[in-house]
Amino acid sequence: MKNISPDLVKYSILIEFNNSTGASVCPPGVQQLGHLHVYSDTCLVLVRNTLSWKDARTSCIKTGGDLVMIKDADKQAFILKALSADHWDQDQVWIGAMDLQHEGDWRWVDGRL
């Protein structure tokens, strides 16, 4: 049996598309990516894939989005409810938090705490 790196477990990717116009719609072409959920002015897309965190982020950026940043309790509750409704394992979802620059110093992908 082939050993799979823990970084390549089947994680789901939660892609966030921010709509600069303020309209609660997903960008054209996003519908085929996976399960869609609209939160405020953000389109959230759940995609099943087997990628490392870095490759998942690169994939998100190529589609015009980024890994989701969960900066408030309301958004977190919305995401957990969406994952539950779609029967997804919330423990295996890549989000936009990282400690790449300093181990244990977690930052969102935009560099903020």
At 42-97, the pLDDT tens digits run: 888 888 888 889 998 998 888 888 999 999 999 999 999 988 888 887 778 889 99
Burial of 8 from C-beta contacts in 10 A (0-12 / 13-18 / 19+): exposed
Average pLDDT of every residue of the chain = 80
Residue-level pLDDT at 23: 53
* pLDDT band (50, 70, 90) for residue 40: confident
CA dihedral 102, 44, 22, 60 (to 10 degrees): 50
**Residue 21 pLDDT > 90, yes or no?**
no
**Residue 15 pLDDT > 60, yes or no?**
yes
Partners of 94 in the β-ladder: 13
pTM exceeding 0.75:
yes
Q: How far apart are CA 14 and CA 47, in angstroms?
A: 7
